[in-house]
Structure formats: C-alpha cells, structure tokens
C-alpha cells in the first residue's frame, strides 16, 4: 500500500490515504513534475514515452519525469522520482521551481484525478547516452525541439519530428530513434500545459527569468 497526503481544494492537509483509494475518491493530492530542457537542435524539451504496461495512459508521451509524493514527503523530495526514472544525477539546487498547476480529470477507468502539480525545470547539456532510464516505467525518451513543439501545440503543424532513444525488448538495449509524433500522442491535458512548458524552456535557455506556470 502506498499512502499519500490528501488535501482540500485550498491545499490544507486532511490526512493521508492509500494512493489507489485517493484516486477513486477524487481526493486532492500533490505530484512532482520535472521538465528537462537540453541544447539539442538549439533547444529541445525532453519527453518521456510511457511504458506500454503503464496502468494509466500507456504508450503516450508525457512530462520528462513525474511522480506522486509519498505521505510526509516535501515537494523537494520529488527529485527522487525524477532521478529514478531518468537515471541521471539531479540536485534540487539545480532545478527551477515554477510553482503549482492544478489538474482535474475524470478518467475512463474510474479514477478521479485532483492534482496540485509542483512543476520544475532543469537545464542539461548531457546527451541521452548518459541517461539510464527505468525500463519498468520508461519506454523511451525523446527530444522535441522547442519551436517545433510550440507549432504543434498551437495547431500550426500536424506532427513534430523528435529524436531520442527507445528500449528494444528484443535486444534488451536502448536504441537510437527518430519518430514523427502527432498531438494526439501526448497525454491529454485540458490546459495548454505543453505549450507553456516550451515557452518557459525557451526563457530558461535565454536566461530570461522569472519562470512560472499555472
């Protein structure tokens, strides 16, 4: 059983509850999101291609790394999840805090998602060969160029070319890959989350602070 802290809509603590039950009951809870921005092609955002075995939204592209905070964990401790998923050393001191965004979604499987997502951003010069993703969670990692991604999420283009790595189960190795992704391949969000993240990524690379999201 994984217990998470639950809150009211004003983020006042109400106690703790089993994670699965909290989603069934539609309890407010906190998650940690990390966007990784790289220098690839003049500036790119790293997307995680979720495992085909994931319980929610399998085989879709999402935030570089994300996870629930366990009961008693502070937001800063969410860096643990990102480190595990991506397999690179991360320090909270090297991560920019963009604040909270709120997401509400009722999923087809009966889950009622009520999240306060603590959004963070990290600039890296590492090549994907330096990453050691968690194969149980991550099917691939792909760089989406910042500008091309903005065009996609604005509806100005139908697809975007992304380069990255995917885990080939036949060879049991990570392989280089270039793919075309449509907007429908990204985990659905009601708000323009991805577009805003790309804008903030561009600001980060240009050292135009502050960074914020909502």
Using one digit for the tens of pLDDT, what is the confidence trace for 22-47?
999 999 999 999 999 999 999 999 99
> Angle of helix 146-153 relative to helix 193-205, nearest 10 degrees?
160
What is the pLDDT at residue 55?
A: 84
Percent of the chain with pLDDT over 90: 93
What is the pLDDT at residue 150?
A: 98
CB 107 within 8 A of CB 40: no
* Average pLDDT value over all residues in the chain: 96
- What is the rounded CA–CA span in Å between residue 163 and residue 174? 13
Kindly state the DSSP code that residue 188 receives in the 8-state scheme.
P
Q: Bigger pLDDT: 121 or 190?
A: 121
- Is the pLDDT at 65 greater than 90? The verdict is yes
- What is the rounded CA–CA span in Å between residue 41 and residue 73? 36
- Is the pLDDT at 110 greater than 90? The verdict is no
Residue 214: band (very low, low, confident or very high) from pLDDT cuts 50, 70, 90: confident
Find where tokens 């989350």 sit: 193
Q: What is the mean pLDDT of residues 170-195?
A: 96
What is the pLDDT at residue 108?
A: 85
Q: What is the Rg, in whole angstroms, of the alpha carbon atoms belonging to the chain?
A: 17
Residue 56: band (very low, low, confident or very high) from pLDDT cuts 50, 70, 90: confident
Residue 109: band (very low, low, confident or very high) from pLDDT cuts 50, 70, 90: confident
What is the pLDDT at residue 88?
A: 96
What is the pLDDT at residue 81?
A: 87
Outline where DSSP puts E strands in the chain: 3-7, 13-18, 28-38, 44-50, 61-62, 65-68, 96-106, 112-124, 138-145, 159-168, 173-182
Q: What is the mean pLDDT of residues 130-141?
A: 96
């Amino acid at each position: 059983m994984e217990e998470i802290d639950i809150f009211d809509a004003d983020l006042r603590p109400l106690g703790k509850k089993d994670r699965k039950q909290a989603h069934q009951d539609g309890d407010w809870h906190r998650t940690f999101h990390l966007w990784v921005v790289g220098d690839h092609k003049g500036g790119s955002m790293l997307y995680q291609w979720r495992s085909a075995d994931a319980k929610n939204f399998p085989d879709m592209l999402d935030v570089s790394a994300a996870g629930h905070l366990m009961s008693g964990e502070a937001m800063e401790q969410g860096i643990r999840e990102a480190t595990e998923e991506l397999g690179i050393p991360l320090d909270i001191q090297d991560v920019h805090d963009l604040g909270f965004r709120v997401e509400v979604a009722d999923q087809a499987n009966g889950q009622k998602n009520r999240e306060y997502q603590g959004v963070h951003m990290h600039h890296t010069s590492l090549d994907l060969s330096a990453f050691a993703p968690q194969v149980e969670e991550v099917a691939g990692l792909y760089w989406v160029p910042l500008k091309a991604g903005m065009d996609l999420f604005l509806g100005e283009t139908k697809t975007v070319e992304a380069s990255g790595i995917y885990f080939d189960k036949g060879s049991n190795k990570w392989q280089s890959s270039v793919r075309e992704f449509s907007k429908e391949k990204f985990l659905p969000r009601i708000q323009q989350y991805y577009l805003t993240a790309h804008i903030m990524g561009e600001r980060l690379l240009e050292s135009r602070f502050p960074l914020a999201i909502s």
